[in-house]
Amino acid sequence: MVEVEIAEERGEVRAMLIEAASRLLREQGARAVTTRAVAQAAGVQPPMIYRHFHDKDGLLDALAEHAMVEYVHAKSGPEDADPLAELRTGWAKHVEFGLANSELYLLINTPGRRSAATDAGRDVLRHRVHRLAEAGLLRVDEARATEMIHAAGTGAVVALLSQPPDSRDPDLAAAMFDAVAAAILTDRPPTPAADVLPLTVTFATAVPGLPTLSSAERSLMSEWLARAISEMQSPSPAA
C-alpha cells in the first residue's frame, strides 16, 4: 500500500492503469478490460480508476489517446503543402493505426459510443477538409465531405479487420479513398467559367474573414451560401 501511495505522489498510477489496460486489451481482447481486471493488473484498488478517469469510458479514452499519440509520433512528418496529398497521407495513417490496434480501434468505434479520441480525430479531418475547400477542390460542402471520408475510412478498416490477416485485400483501402475522392473532389481548382458549386463552397470558407461586414451580415451571407450549396447538392427532381 505504501508503494502505491508513493507512486500516486509521483503521478505514476495513471500511467500504470493505462499500461495495464493496454496489456489486457492486447493479450485478452476487449471483454477482458473491466475496471476490476485493470485495477488488479496494475496492483491498485478499483477506486483508483474512478479517481483518475471518472469511469471505464474515461479510461478507454485515455488508452486510445495514449496509443494514438505514440503512433502519430512514430509516423509524423511535416505538413504537406498539397491538401490532397495531406488527406491521402492522413487516410493511410488512419488505416495503418486501425490494423495495428485492432481491438482498441473496434472498441472506440463501437456504434453509439462517443469517444474523445475519435472526436479529436474528426477535428483533424475537418481541418484537412477545410484546406481542400480553401483550395477550391470540393464539389460538396465541408460537412458532407467530412462525414463521407470518416464513414468510408472507418468502414474500410472494419472490413479489413473482419478478414483473416493473410486474406486481406492490400488495395482495398486505397481503392476506397479513390472512390470517395472522386465523389467529393473536383478535377482542378474552379475558374469563373467552371461549375458554380465548387466556387460557392470555396467562397463560403472566406466569409468569416471578410472585412467591413458586420457579424450579422456575415451570418446572413453564410446562411445564404449554405442554402445554395444544399440545393445544388440535392438531386434534381425527375422531369
pLDDT in tens, 150-175: 999 999 999 999 999 999 998 999 99
My answer on whether 98 and 183 are in the same domain is yes
Domain around 42: 1-54
Residue 60 located in a structural domain: no
Q: For 143, which DSSP code? A: H
Residue 65 located in a structural domain: no
**Which of the residue ranges 106-115, 146-155, 168-177, 180-189 would you say has the lowest mean pLDDT?**
106-115
Place of cell 481541418: 127
Closest CA to 117 of 97, 131, 137, 100: 97
Residue 61 located in a structural domain: no
| Most confident of the following: 28-42, 93-107, 120-134, 144-158 | 144-158
My answer on whether 184 and 215 are in the same domain is no
User: Mean of the pLDDT values across residues 174-196?
Assistant: 78
My answer on whether 87 and 113 are in the same domain is yes
User: Mean of the pLDDT values across residues 133-137?
Assistant: 88
My answer on whether 112 and 139 are in the same domain is yes
Residue 47 located in a structural domain: yes
Residues 122, 146: contact at Cβ < 8 Å? yes
Using DSSP, state whether 48 is helix, strand or coil.
helix
The CATH number of residue 21's host domain is 1.10.10.60
Residue 73 located in a structural domain: no
The CATH number of residue 84's host domain is 1.10.357
Report how far Cα 171 is from the mean position of its chain's Cα atoms.
21
Report how far Cα 161 is from the mean position of its chain's Cα atoms.
18
Sign of CA dihedral 89, 90, 94, 100: positive
Residue 66 located in a structural domain: no
Residue 64 located in a structural domain: no
In the chain the first and final C-alpha atoms are separated, in Å, by 77
My answer on whether 138 and 221 are in the same domain is no
My answer on whether 98 and 150 are in the same domain is yes
Q: Which residue type sits at 183?
A: A
My answer on whether 157 and 208 are in the same domain is no
Q: Of 173, 189, 205, which one is at a domain's C-terminal end?
A: 189
Residue 59 located in a structural domain: no
Compute the C-alpha angle 138/96/188, nearest 5°: 20
My answer on whether 129 and 223 are in the same domain is no
pTM score over 0.75: no
My answer on whether 179 and 98 are in the same domain is yes
My answer on whether 94 and 177 are in the same domain is yes
Q: Which residues share a beta bridge with 185?
A: 138
Closest CA to 155 of 135, 136, 176: 176
* Count of structural domains within the chain: 3
My answer on whether 44 and 27 are in the same domain is yes
Q: Quick one: pLDDT at residue 79?
A: 65
My answer on whether 133 and 30 are in the same domain is no
Cα 49 to Cα 13: distance, rounded to the nearest angstrom? 9
